[in-house]
Amino acid sequence: MNRDLQFDADAEIDHEGPVTPYKQLAAILTARIERGDWEVNRAIPSELRLVQEYGLARSTVRRTIALLVEEGTVYVVPQRGMFVKGR
């Protein structure tokens, strides 16, 4: 993800803004991890919870998760969830 994208950990998704919602959510979740909301090897909220919390489509949240996995920020354990990866 473009590291120039800075979003506050408490930001809301701006559906009218120039940055796509999945990239906004990725930046917000990364900021929350960096702030210490979730420790290494601890689960972040479920896909369904993120859909509800941020008002996004499930496909958008899945795209966000794929981006965070690709960046090495989180890892997925099937049937268990998404977990913060150590740096």
- 1, part of any domain: no
- 63, part of any domain: yes
Identify the three-state secondary structure at position 16.
Answer: coil
Which range marks the domain in which residue 26 is found? Answer: 21-84
**What whole-number distance in Å separates Cα of residue 36 and Cα of residue 49?**
19
The reported pLDDT for the residue numbered 4 is 55
The reported pLDDT for the residue numbered 2 is 46
The reported pLDDT for the residue numbered 6 is 75
Per-residue pLDDT of the chain (87 residues; tens, 9 = 90+): 445 567 889 999 999 999 999 999 999 999 999 999 999 999 999 999 999 999 999 999 999 999 999 999 999 999 999 999 986
- 5, part of any domain: no
Q: pTM of this prediction?
A: 0.90
Write the CATH number for 77.
1.10.10.10
**What whole-number distance in Å separates Cα of residue 87 and Cα of residue 74?**
10
**What whole-number distance in Å separates Cα of residue 23 and Cα of residue 13?**
10
Indicate the number of domains in the chain.
1
The reported pLDDT for the residue numbered 22 is 97
